[in-house]
Structure 1
């Protein structure tokens, strides 16, 4: 019995000692780091919400104007330079390139304020595309020089005039799709490549000589694309076009977070109806929505949650056709993105929120 009492006493002493050590570490040893983190996170967040009226000027000659997924940064290309502007503070950064490389194309990566940049390097013998990543928060650019096996991460172009025409990323698989426009190939047939998380690049076959818009699926390493010659929509992994009963011409509208594909029924180069559903499901299970007015495919946008937004340039409005909510904007619409849109008026950038209560 005495032995059990002694063991119990030593156990209690051990518990108190451990609790004391943990208390000391929590209250004294880690105290500086914890305090600094709390101050740095909370204070800027309040400033970001309050500072809404900062003026962002965009040059008239600016090209490739695109906003990050959260709307915090906007990037554009002007005077052979890629600029990145913080839309909250107005702070503008210039992305530097090596002297032997030129800007080709870029895309904002989903869910992070990073840019994937395609850069073109030309010599007397060969032109190549290489890639880099720019972190807008840290203002740091890093080359993606090699894959995980040490092989150079690059694409050899067929000629010096060829260039990157589009970049799309499957958000959860991390696969990036690269569309290259070829100038010396008959009918201007595009080449396609995919780059995985390990920076390995491989060629990708498509069932079209003339590809228009492309989109990815968040949960699948699969590309959706439209054939401009026969006005059909395809996805990789399926040899046949996606056909809708009673619809002759179709175009690609978008995808959502549930991997649903959105296809437009086209008449006289305008979309009159949108069909949507899972590629693996029978077309009988797909749903459709009739548009009040026919629209150009550049004026329709699908959000990640499946809302469909339609732009009316003449009225200066964007309408969520699922809820009939209408939002007005100033000037010329530049881009619709996940949480809103951006427009330009007299060289000034305006941000429009899709979640506005007004």
Structure 2
């Protein structure tokens, strides 16, 4: 009986000692080992600088939404080139080259083609990946020919609302007057009842059936819908230049002094005007530029990025971030595309007949 008691006591002691040792090791010896930390590293494929060959007479250079394709004209022919491979496709047209107009959509790599025919215009979507064009159809899947509001006019501009089927066409009449028409892909092409006969640059809202345009005759910026117009006046600015309307409904207007932009004004146009007259009341924010600059060297993206192109130094500066440099390029500046998340610069090497795409880093 005494021996059994001693065995039980030693067992208890052994358990206590082992538990104590394990507690000590877990609490102190393995303290830094048992705590595991980790970090997720996102690996994103960075765009590389690309170069393609183009003919010496290449003109009308445009870049697609993602920078994947570039279009140009050469010898009265429209071409589309894939930047990654240099593959060059000729876009087939059903009319004379002089009676056609083409422009990339701002949200996807699709080229919109407008062809003038005897009794109006036809609209096509060109897919550069397949080289195929698809004509706009009505609700019964029949091909549509839209009537021109002025039969002798030529289409010289196109801006589309990427959330529906509305396009705003800019037409030039034989008289030289410049008009805006509203084309509903599933309906018809109608005149915009705004009474403006000298329309300059213009941009549409991405989420609304609304357009902002330049009235060149009266030197004003106007916001218009199918049934109303409002002036966008900026105190102290007598010579405004429309730069863009971003995806959030913010307008960007430059102040022109001696043919150059000295500052940029921006305001939201989403709120309703409290004014009883034809002027839209907005809260304007001013962005001063480092120095006056030509309009062609200012780029405003759909995200509201404001980039200034220093074509002499080959630099792209961010006007909203103390003119910090975001990219550099060589050769002659052509255009920009995209935004701070996935954008780039297209420049041209005239000596070697090359187009170079440089990403914004």
- Calculate the TM-score normalised by the size of structure 1: 0.76
Report what 2:38 is aligned to.
none
Report what 2:220 is aligned to.
232
- CA, structure 1 residues 284+217, in 2 after alignment: closer, same or farther (shift >3 Å)? closer
Tell me how far 1:305 sits from its aligned partner: 1.4
Provide the secondary structure at the position in 1 that maps to 2:123. strand
Whether the aligned pair in 1 keeps the contact of 2:266 and 2:284 (CA below 8 Å) is yes
- CA, structure 1 residues 151+204, in 2 after alignment: closer, same or farther (shift >3 Å)? farther
Q: Which residue, 279, 296, 299 being the options, matches 2:297?
A: 299
Report what 1:271 is aligned to.
261
For the pair shown, the structure with the greater C-alpha radius of gyration is 2
- CA, structure 1 residues 103+60, in 2 after alignment: closer, same or farther (shift >3 Å)? farther
Q: Which residue, 152, 156, 168 being the options, matches 1:177?
A: 168
Alignment RMSD (CA, Å): 2.5
- CA, structure 1 residues 330+53, in 2 after alignment: closer, same or farther (shift >3 Å)? closer
Equivalenced residues, count: 299
Tell me how far 1:315 sits from its aligned partner: 2.4
Tell me how far 1:199 sits from its aligned partner: 5.2
Report what 1:214 is aligned to.
202
Tell me how far 1:155 sits from its aligned partner: 3.4
1:352 has 2:351 as partner: no
Which structure exhibits the higher relative contact order, with contacts defined as CA atoms closer than 8 Å and separated by 6 or more residues? 2
Supply the distance in 2 between the matched residues of 1:196 and 1:156 (Cα, whole angstroms). Answer: 13
Q: Which residue, 54, 73, 78 being the options, matches 2:74?
A: 78
Whether the aligned pair in 2 keeps the contact of 1:80 and 1:103 (CA below 8 Å) is no
Report what 2:308 is aligned to.
310
Supply the distance in 2 between the matched residues of 1:62 and 1:208 (Cα, whole angstroms). Answer: 34
Q: Which residue, 64, 71, 92 being the options, matches 1:68?
A: 64
- CA, structure 1 residues 53+247, in 2 after alignment: closer, same or farther (shift >3 Å)? closer
Whether the aligned pair in 2 keeps the contact of 1:169 and 1:216 (CA below 8 Å) is yes
Higher normalized helix content (fraction of residues):
1
User: Any idea what the Cα deviations from partners look like across 1:256-306, whole Å, max 9, x if unmatched?
Assistant: 111111111222222111111122366452211111111222221111111
Segments of 5+ residues of structure 2 without an aligned counterpart are 1-44, 274-280
Supply the distance in 1 between the matched residues of 2:166 and 2:318 (Cα, whole angstroms). Answer: 30
Report what 1:36 is aligned to.
none
